């Protein structure tokens, strides 16, 4: 198989098939590149920018860059770790991420990726936006304070559930997630916990009700091992990831 | 080798003293620590005046005028200032009041509260005046190190202090970094 | 209040006028707003119903473009252009003056619903500012007496159509012409050339010409056309990017105003070469005043056999052009965001690859070129590639139109061969005392006098054409701060580093500009700038920190003189943060203030 196509990622040879992105090929080869808006089940989005890598010395998002034969990709360099930390810090100050008061804490992808990059503090000036919490639905709650605009729920609801419940409106720093009903309330939609959209949020923005802090601290998904070992919460079976109410 | 003991001061601003409890969770390691450091102003001592210190550990965010004064004094007197815990780093739970106007918060507590007689917003000069928002401490003074956690575990604090005292680069293990 | 059935009827008429096409959504919303002054939730629901699309699609478009309003506006809606060149000409004073005359505060609608006054990004009238828009139509050369007249017209509720024409007069200020604008062009000559010599021969001339995209990016035009021509598929499109949003640029406005035939001919030529039958001009919303004249030009060309079916009598040559009006979104100048907007969506840049030459408008192969590029292509088809390449430098053939504004005696349009020095431009426009130039707009580069011998070309100083002069009296940081605010307003919000980074940069710039910054803040700005340059999804975000980073390098003294001597300063005004509590408690004792002298700030290590 010497004519198999491949690129190198931090010196390691990564084979790929035509049409794959750097991210897809790397994950398939078992090499982790941090990411938030990317989910292997959906078309790449490229908005969070956490998966930034250097492809032939140019900064690119690994999730949207097509793999090409002979490419040299750098990922785990101090330069990239610092930029990724910076981007994560931006996400933390843009919203209101009060981890001690969030049920997703410990099994939160945003948190886990931040741990992975060694982020100790949010560093920047906090925006403290005023955003609502929507508890109108009997089984689920949306805390807009924690939304990072990855649009995974938008994509899942539109492309998988066929319900088109979520959308992003507004421009620039005013961009925000909305629920597609005249009242803007989740309770007025056909949203269900069995929807794909209920299972893809990388933060604690969309949560299952009546569940609380059901896994003790120390035993939660990312308490002991980092996300590059454990995997994305949305990709894991129910009990470990704790993504669905059973 | 006899070295002068390092002077450490600590304080809790808009916090719950949980980070200080975590410090006390060092348990028997506190004896070890006591041989190497000397505590200056701290809720754990009765020292009222902050002296010149090597390290200041700050718990809690900044929610009122007194917090600002204390924090600035610590910055001025401590060579190294460390933000400890979620509230110091991002405002934490106290900063959840930033979702409301100060007026709403005060009226909820002092005007609309149950069982109040002659309800009014307190205006006694003895009471520190509230800032319109709670802020993390790095928005007021320069911070040299940050230790996340709600609270950071005793292990995390121990690793940090040990490595700082020995002049090493601070390296926390995966399990020592958490935001809750 | 419009009656519900009337509302439905009004919307239905407008939607039908646009053939019920969802791709025309932005145009439909513009037309609806013209009739109703704003887009209420009910209005948006009706539009969605009439187009049979999801209401959230309609809302996301309505929320995205700054000239679409989802809250009520006055019958007269005035937006002052707020580019730094407008500020140099005193627009802030005029803005406050008019607000005073009409007794309304900035950004608010007067209680009788008559008027709203606000600001907007550069309207492309930098050589004849201060400028403004009234209900989307350009007002130029504003001064107190013109504003007195305007205030009277508004108070007397005179319809816009009856306002004196001179208020709306836009000068071309063409100061220097070279081969593109200096020689007569006979309408139809480029089309005759392609019919006579065939598309391949024209392609060869394009290759020889070395023409590069004149919007600023400088991608080889021939390569773009060839890639699109070779792309599989029968349906292809030609798009002219006339969304000239870069502050300080107005050369496309002059081309569209005075040389529209040349531009349309270039587009038609491109259509023939790549095999497209349909073209779009994406005209920025700020140039709305040109819409009807341009439509008339298109009609004249159809009647002259230069557009439409069987062009020049050749039944195999069909090509028509439609004008699409933008609605206030700088990001739509990015070609893939522009295509999204043309498709009736909000303007978020696409992931590339694939590129528009293979997957453009409606995913069909599409050439997107700048106005000036199409004009040059038309000339090249007639005069030949060698003729064009005889001007310019090795890597930058031909000429470039510069939009010169700011502190100079003769602002306007200057056409130069590529390779001209900055000094020569300064001399020609009468800028005797320049301290710095903002080249290619805020997304370009700021240069100081040390670099005025540099040459304007892709090898050295690349530009889309904006050339804003700051003289010695100016504070460079006024400009930098203005640009930092501009990018916050224009970020589309899609990617993290641009959405959040532009706001963080603005806050740091405000802090430094108002004298509250320290050396630490400057280092923060550099770090933030590097993250944005490296991490942003599109060119807007990647270039947004340029004014800050350049000025830190080129004009360090402008920063130095504002810095505190302290090592660190709070991110917010401590004392002001107590004001709310002082009000609520009525306290005025010393403990109710955080005055600087009482704090130990200066004692920090």
The rounded distance, in Å, linking the Cα atoms of B33 and B52 is 19
Does C467 share its domain with C410?
Answer: yes
Q: What is the pLDDT of residues B131-151, one digit of tens each?
A: 999 999 999 999 999 999 999
How many contacts (CB atoms, under 8 Å) link B and C?
A: 73
Residues in chain C with CB shorter than 8 Å from the CB of A59 are 534-535
Write out the residues of chain B at the interface with chain A, using a CB-CB cutoff of 8 A.
83, 86, 89-93, 95-96, 98-99, 133, 135-136, 138-139, 143, 146-148, 150, 172, 174-175, 177-180
Confidence of residue B113 (pLDDT cuts 50, 70, 90): confident
Confidence of residue C605 (pLDDT cuts 50, 70, 90): very low
Does C288 share its domain with C308?
Answer: yes
pLDDT on residue A27: 97
Is B106 in CB contact (< 8 Å) with chain C?
Answer: yes
Confidence of residue C602 (pLDDT cuts 50, 70, 90): very low
Is C341 in CB contact (< 8 Å) with chain A?
Answer: no
Is there a contact between B174 and A115 if contact means CB atoms under 8 Å apart? Answer: yes
Does C417 share its domain with C501?
Answer: no
Are residues C320 and C158 in contact, defined by beta-carbon separation less than 8 angstroms?
A: no
CATH code for the structural domain at A6-76:
3.10.20.740
Confidence of residue B114 (pLDDT cuts 50, 70, 90): confident
Q: For residue C450, is it within any domain?
A: yes
Distances (CA, A) of A81 to A50, A52, A75, A106, B145: 9, 9, 8, 22, 18
Region C551-563: what's the mean pLDDT?
Answer: 97
What average pLDDT does the structure give for chain C? 96
Assigned token pair, A131? 């955003």
CB contact residues (below 8 A), chain C span 480-499, against chain A? 488-497, 499
Give yes or no on whether A6-76 and A81-222 have one common fold: no
Give the domain-ending residue among C474, C504, C530: C474
Partners of residue A207 on adjacent β-strands: A141
> Residue A3 pLDDT more than 80?
no
> Residue B3 pLDDT more than 80?
no
Per-residue 3-state assignment (H helix, E strand, C coil) for chain B: CCCCCEEEEEEECECCCHHHHHHHCCCCHHHHHHHHEEECCCCCCCCCCCCCEEEEEEECEEEEHHHHHHHHHHHHHEEEEEEECHHHHHCCHHHHHHHCCHHHHHHHHHCCCCCCCCCCCCCCCCCCCEEEEEECHHHCCCCCEEECCCCCCHHHHHHHHHHHHCCCCCCCCHHHCCCC
Is there a contact between A101 and B95 if contact means CB atoms under 8 Å apart? Answer: no
Residues in chain B with CB shorter than 8 Å from the CB of C570 are 139-141
DSSP string, C445-477: EEEEGGGTT-EESTTSB--SSEEEEEETTS-HH
Mutate to test the interface with A, among B90, B145, B146 (most CBs of A within 10 A): B90
Give the domain-ending residue among C362, C389, C416: C389
pLDDT on residue B48: 87
Confidence of residue B4 (pLDDT cuts 50, 70, 90): confident
Q: For residue B122, is it within any domain?
A: no
Is there a contact between A223 and B175 if contact means CB atoms under 8 Å apart? Answer: yes
CATH number reported for the structural domain that contains residue B12 in this entry:
3.40.50.700
Among the residue ranges A145-159, C48-62, C256-270, C591-605, the one predicted with the least confidence is C591-605
The rounded distance, in Å, linking the Cα atoms of C337 and C329 is 10
Minimal Cα–Cα distance from C605 to chain A, Å? 20
pLDDT on residue C71: 95
Give the domain-ending residue among C407, C441, C474: C474
Q: What is the DSSP letter of C351?
A: P
Neighbouring subunits of C (3+ Cβ pairs under 8 A): A, B
pTM of the predicted model as reported, rounded to 2 decimal places: 0.96
pLDDT on residue A245: 40
Does C225 share its domain with C339?
Answer: yes
What's CA C473's distance to the chain center, in Å?
A: 27
Minimal Cα–Cα distance from B81 to chain A, Å? 14
Does C126 share its domain with C94?
Answer: yes
Is there a contact between C584 and B103 if contact means CB atoms under 8 Å apart? Answer: yes
Structural domain span for residue B12? 6-96+131-176
Are residues C61 and C328 in contact, defined by beta-carbon separation less than 8 angstroms?
A: no
Q: For residue C604, is it within any domain?
A: no
Place of tokens 């709600």: B150
Is there a contact between C592 and B125 if contact means CB atoms under 8 Å apart? Answer: yes
Does C438 share its domain with C538?
Answer: no
Structural domain span for residue C110? 76-168
Residues in chain B with CB shorter than 8 Å from the CB of A217 are 180
CATH code for the structural domain at A81-222:
3.30.70.20
Minimal Cα–Cα distance from B168 to chain A, Å? 18
> Residue C536 pLDDT more than 60?
yes
Taking the domains of chain A in order of start, what are their residue ranges? 6-76, 81-222
Does C210 share its domain with C304?
Answer: yes
pLDDT on residue A40: 95
Does C112 share its domain with C229?
Answer: no
Give exposure, C109-141, as e/b (b: 16+ Cβ within 10 Å): bbeeeebbbbbbbbbbbbbbbbbbbbbbebbbb
Does C60 share its domain with C80?
Answer: no
Does C334 share its domain with C193?
Answer: yes
Are residues C277 and C320 in contact, defined by beta-carbon separation less than 8 angstroms?
A: yes
Are residues C141 and C148 in contact, defined by beta-carbon separation less than 8 angstroms?
A: no
Are residues C26 and C64 in contact, defined by beta-carbon separation less than 8 angstroms?
A: no
Is B103 in CB contact (< 8 Å) with chain C?
Answer: yes
pLDDT on residue B2: 57
Does C121 share its domain with C186?
Answer: no
For residue B54, give the chain C residue with the closest CA.
C605
Handedness of CA A71, A75, A76, A77 (dihedral sign): positive
Does C312 share its domain with C421?
Answer: no
Are residues C257 and C128 in contact, defined by beta-carbon separation less than 8 angstroms?
A: no
Is there a contact between A47 and C494 if contact means CB atoms under 8 Å apart? Answer: yes
- Tally the domains of chain C: 5
pLDDT on residue A238: 60
Is B104 in CB contact (< 8 Å) with chain C?
Answer: no
Is A99 in CB contact (< 8 Å) with chain B?
Answer: yes
> Residue B46 pLDDT more than 90?
no
Region B59-75: what's the mean pLDDT?
Answer: 97
- Tally the domains of chain B: 1
Is there a contact between A167 and C64 if contact means CB atoms under 8 Å apart? Answer: no
Q: What is the DSSP letter of A71?
A: -
Confidence of residue A73 (pLDDT cuts 50, 70, 90): very high
The rounded distance, in Å, linking the Cα atoms of C136 and C120 is 11
Is there a contact between B148 and A118 if contact means CB atoms under 8 Å apart? Answer: no
Q: For residue B18, is it within any domain?
A: yes
The rounded distance, in Å, linking the Cα atoms of B102 and B95 is 12
Does C183 or B176 have the greater pLDDT score?
B176
Mutate to test the interface with C, among B131, B137, B138, B143 (most CBs of C within 10 A): B131
Is there a contact between A52 and C535 if contact means CB atoms under 8 Å apart? Answer: yes
């Amino acid at each position: 198989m010497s004519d198999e196509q491949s690129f190198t990622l931090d010196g390691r040879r990564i084979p790929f098939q035509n049409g794959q992105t750097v991210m897809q090929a790397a994950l398939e080869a078992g090499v982790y590149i941090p990411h938030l808006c990317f989910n292997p089940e959906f078309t790449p989005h490229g908005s969070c920018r956490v998966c930034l890598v250097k492809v032939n010395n140019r900064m690119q998002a690994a999730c949207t860059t097509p793999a090409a034969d002979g490419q040299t990709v750098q990922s785990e360099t101090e330069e990239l770790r610092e930029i990724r930390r910076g981007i994560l810090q931006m996400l933390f100050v843009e919203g209101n991420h009060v981890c001690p008061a969030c049920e997703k804490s410990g099994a939160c992808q945003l948190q886990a990726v931040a741990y992975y990059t060694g982020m100790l503090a949010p560093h920047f000036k906090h925006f403290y936006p005023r955003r609502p919490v929507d508890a109108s639905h009997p089984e689920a709650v949306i805390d807009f304070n924690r939304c990072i605009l990855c649009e995974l729920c938008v994509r899942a609801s539109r492309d998988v559930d066929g319900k088109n419940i979520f959308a992003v409106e507004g421009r620039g720093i005013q961009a925000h997630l909305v629920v597609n009903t005249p009242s803007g309330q989740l309770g007025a939609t056909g949203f269900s916990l069995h929807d794909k959209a209920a299972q893809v949020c990388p933060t604690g923005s969309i949560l299952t009700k009546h569940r609380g802090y059901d896994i003790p601290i120390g035993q939660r998904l990312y308490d002991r091992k980092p996300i590059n070992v454990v995997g994305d919460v949305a990709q894991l079976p129910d009990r470990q990831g704790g993504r669905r109410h059973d | 080798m006899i070295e002068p003991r390092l002077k450490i001061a600590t304080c809790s601003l808009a916090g719950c003293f949980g980070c200080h409890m975590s410090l006390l969770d060092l348990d028997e390691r506190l004896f070890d620590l006591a041989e190497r450091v000397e505590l200056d102003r701290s809720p754990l001592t009765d020292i009222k005046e902050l002296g010149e210190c090597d390290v200041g550990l700050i718990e809690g965010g900044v929610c009122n005028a007194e917090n600002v004064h204390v924090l600035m004094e610590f910055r001025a007197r401590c060579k190294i200032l460390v933000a400890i815990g979620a509230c110091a780093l991002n405002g934490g739970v106290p900063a959840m009041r930033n979702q409301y106007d100060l007026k709403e918060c005060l009226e909820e507590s002092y005007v609309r509260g149950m069982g109040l007689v002659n309800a009014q917003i307190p205006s006694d000069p003895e009471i520190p005046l509230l800032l319109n928002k709670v802020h993390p401490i790095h928005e007021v003074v320069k911070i040299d190190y940050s230790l996340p956690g709600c609270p950071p575990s005793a292990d995390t604090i121990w690793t940090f202090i040990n490595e700082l005292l020995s002049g090493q680069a601070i390296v926390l293990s995966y399990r020592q970094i958490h935001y809750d | 209040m419009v009656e519900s059935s009337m509302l439905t009827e009004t919307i239905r008429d407008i939607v039908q006028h646009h053939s019920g096409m969802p791709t025309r959504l932005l145009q439909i919303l513009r037309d609806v707003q013209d009739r109703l002054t704003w887009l209420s939730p009910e209005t948006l629901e009706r539009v969605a119903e009439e187009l049979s699309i999801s209401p959230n699609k309609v809302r996301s478009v309505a929320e995205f473009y700054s000239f679409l309003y989802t809250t009520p506006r006055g019958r007269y809606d005035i937006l002052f252009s707020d580019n730094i060149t407008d500020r140099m000409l005193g627009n802030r004073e005029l803005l406050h003056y008019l607000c005073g005359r009409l007794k309304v505060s900035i950004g608010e609608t007067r209680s009788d619903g008559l008027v709203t006054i606000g600001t907007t990004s550069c309207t492309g009238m930098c050589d004849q500012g201060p400028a403004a828009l009234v209900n989307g139509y350009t007002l130029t050369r504003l001064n107190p007496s013109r504003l007195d007249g305007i205030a009277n017209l508004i108070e007397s509720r005179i319809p816009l159509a009856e306002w004196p024409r001179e208020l709306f007069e836009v000068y071309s200020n063409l100061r220097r012409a070279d081969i593109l604008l200096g020689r007569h062009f006979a309408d139809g000559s480029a089309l005759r050339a392609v019919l006579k010599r065939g598309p391949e021969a024209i392609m060869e001339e394009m290759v020889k010409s070395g023409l590069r995209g004149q919007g600023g990016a400088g991608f080889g035009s021939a390569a773009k056309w060839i890639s699109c021509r070779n792309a599989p598929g029968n349906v292809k499109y030609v798009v002219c990017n006339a969304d000239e949003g870069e502050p300080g640029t107005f050369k496309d406005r002059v081309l569209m105003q005075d040389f529209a035939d040349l531009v349309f001919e270039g587009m038609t030529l491109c259509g023939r070469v790549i095999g497209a039958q349909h073209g779009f001009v994406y005209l920025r919303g700020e140039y709305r005043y040109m819409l009807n004249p341009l439509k008339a030009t298109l009609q004249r060309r159809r009647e002259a056999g230069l557009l439409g079916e069987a062009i020049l009598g050749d039944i195999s040559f069909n090509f028509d052009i439609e004008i699409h009006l933008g609605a206030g979104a700088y990001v739509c100048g990015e070609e893939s965001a522009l295509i999204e907007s043309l498709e009736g969506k909000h303007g978020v840049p696409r992931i590339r690859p694939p590129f528009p030459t293979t997957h453009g408008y409606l995913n069909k192969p599409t050439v997107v070129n700048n106005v000036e590029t199409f004009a040059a292509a038309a000339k090249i088809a007639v005069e030949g590639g060698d003729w064009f390449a005889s001007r310019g430098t090795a890597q930058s053939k031909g000429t470039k139109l510069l939009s010169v504004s700011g502190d100079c005696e003769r602002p306007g349009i200057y056409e130069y061969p590529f390779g001209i020095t900055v000094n020569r431009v300064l001399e020609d426009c009468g800028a005797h005392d320049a301290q710095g130039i903002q080249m290619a707009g805020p997304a370009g580069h700021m240069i100081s006098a040390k670099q005025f011998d540099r040459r304007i070309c892709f090898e050295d100083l690349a530009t889309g054409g904006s050339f804003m002069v700051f003289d010695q009296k100016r504070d460079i940081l006024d400009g930098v701060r203005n640009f930092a605010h501009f990018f916050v307003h224009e970020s589309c919000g899609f990617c993290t580093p641009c959405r959040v980074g532009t706001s963080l940069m603005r806050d740091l710039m405000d802090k430094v500009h108002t004298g509250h910054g320290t050396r630490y803040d400057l280092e923060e700005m550099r770090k933030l700038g590097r993250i944005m340059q490296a991490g942003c999804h599109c060119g807007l975000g990647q270039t947004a920190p340029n004014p800050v980073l350049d000025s830190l390098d080129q004009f360090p003294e402008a920063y130095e003189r504002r810095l505190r001597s302290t090592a660190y300063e709070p991110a917010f005004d401590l004392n002001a943060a107590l004001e709310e509590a002082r009000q609520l408690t009525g306290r005025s004792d010393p403990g109710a203030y955080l005055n600087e002298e009482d704090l130990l700030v200066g004692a920090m290590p």
